[in-house]
Amino acid sequence: MNPITRFPLRGSSLGRSLLLLFVVLGCLGVSAADLESDVRAASEKANSITAVLERLAEDGEVSKANDRLLALFPEATRTPAETLMLGNMLYNLDSKLSYALHKEAFGKLPHEPLVLMEWAMEQQRAGEYNGALQAYNEYSRTYPEYAPVHGLAADCLIRLGKTKEAVARWKQSENASLGTLVELESLVCAVYFVPGQAQRRATLRAAAQKGDVDAAVRLIALDGRFERDWWNNGPQRSYLARDLAVLRKMPPSPRIKAALCVGDCLLPEQPTKTALLQILVRHGFLVDPDKTLPADGALASLLLGVAMDSKVMGRAQAREEFGAKLLASGKASKDAELLNIAANLNSGTAAMEEIEKQAWELTGDRRFAAGYLIELLANKKLKPNDPLLDKAMKQFPEDATILYVAIQSNPSPSQELLVSGIKAEYRHFSASTGLLSRPGAQTLRSYFKRLEKLQQ
């Protein structure tokens, strides 16, 4: 049950583990058995307090959970394997601590493939491209046939201004015999996905417990569309259940009422149409005589999304009953989420282009700039020198969709434009083969091929 969005993400976990790298090393025939065994032993020890950590996380006590985990492995006696494992467990929870732990592991085991990969990715995430490149280079000297590492190194090179070397390194990734494009996509996402969802929730939950209505609304919106990576988001139901309990203790208000309705609708794993209708009727939203919508765009998006997923209403009905109201409210409030729903409901109609343009002007939100340019491109109205395209590229220099439009509309894209497109794709892959397709590295691959031709 997704919220209204034109760029949906799909399924995996928030945390990172060493599993992918274990698989990689196994495919390469790497003899890191001792380290792998030690890491697995450390992981099993951490698993002994998993239930405690999960309860703390559900209560929004992320810092306490982190401290409890670290206390299990005291710094004075912590082994390199334990340090590596802790860095991975904290990767999306505390980026500064994760960086320090992986740096410590590298200091103790500077030539271990597992450690090199993790330290390289930490540096790349921090924008330390020279250091990351050195670590990737050492890894590749030992295991030159693992393609995704060459792909990661190419990103470092392109950002260091070493364009010819970046193209050559990408070509190495294409010619290498091990690894897949999907593995590269997962690793790139691990580098550039913005972490901290759990910590943001903890901050909002603490504020909501003190009576902050705005924080309470944002808390339920975050739980309802909890992003785990570039492909996976959706209700984090264990968090929702705990956070709804907080809201039920708050003084009633229209916004709290709407948040409770949204949360109750999202709690069931697979709500039936009948069950969802009962919830909506009980709270007085969508199907009531006044066709009431939450005033907050993020909540309205979630509620309409779950209603359409559960067949309470179709897109055409939702557009007819709510489209004009959403558009008017969005324009008046400049609420990007309300305007995004209006654009979504009008997808495929003649009205969409103008809605995207107006929403961009009102909010300055990159989604509308990208959506408007995609509409122009699809309708064959876009020219390479379009002033609005130039404006969007300056306003959002690393937006993959906008750069995709710029390159697609240009019959002879320059090296500079292709380099910009490559940087944008690494930052977040575009869904360039269709607005509902899975963002992936196919477009990145095509840009490198075109760049190689220009250099010949």
Contacts of 443 (CB under 8 A, 6+ apart): 400, 404, 421, 425, 429, 430, 432, 433
Per-residue pLDDT reduced to its tens digit, 103-119: 999 999 999 998 999 99
Residue 338 contacts residue 310 (beta carbons within 8 Å): no
Residue type at position 19: L
Confidence label for 248 from pLDDT (cuts 50, 70 and 90): very high
Average pLDDT, the chain: 90
Report whether 346 contacts 323 (CB < 8 A).
Answer: yes
Contact by Cβ (8 Å): 105, 80: yes
Give the pLDDT confidence of 257-304 residue by residue, as tens digits: 999 999 999 999 988 999 999 999 999 999 999 999 999 999 999 999
Helical H segments across 59-146, by residue range: 62-72, 80-89, 95-108, 113-125, 129-142
Q: What percent of the chain has pLDDT over 90?
A: 82
| 229 φ, ψ (degrees, to nearest 5) | -165, -165
Instruction: Tell me the whole-structure pTM to 2 decimals.
Output: 0.90
3 state DSSP class of 383: coil
Residue 4 has pLDDT above 80, yes or no: no
- Per-residue pLDDT tens for 82-93? 999 999 999 989
Q: Mean of the pLDDT values across residues 53-62? A: 93
Residues 307/262, Cβ–Cβ less than 8 Å: no
pLDDT at residue 437, rounded to an integer: 62
| pLDDT of 341 higher than 70 | yes
With beta carbons less than 8 A apart as the criterion, state whether 157 and 133 touch.
yes
More reliable by pLDDT, 433 or 423: 423
Q: Which residues are paired to 146 by β-bridges?
A: 178
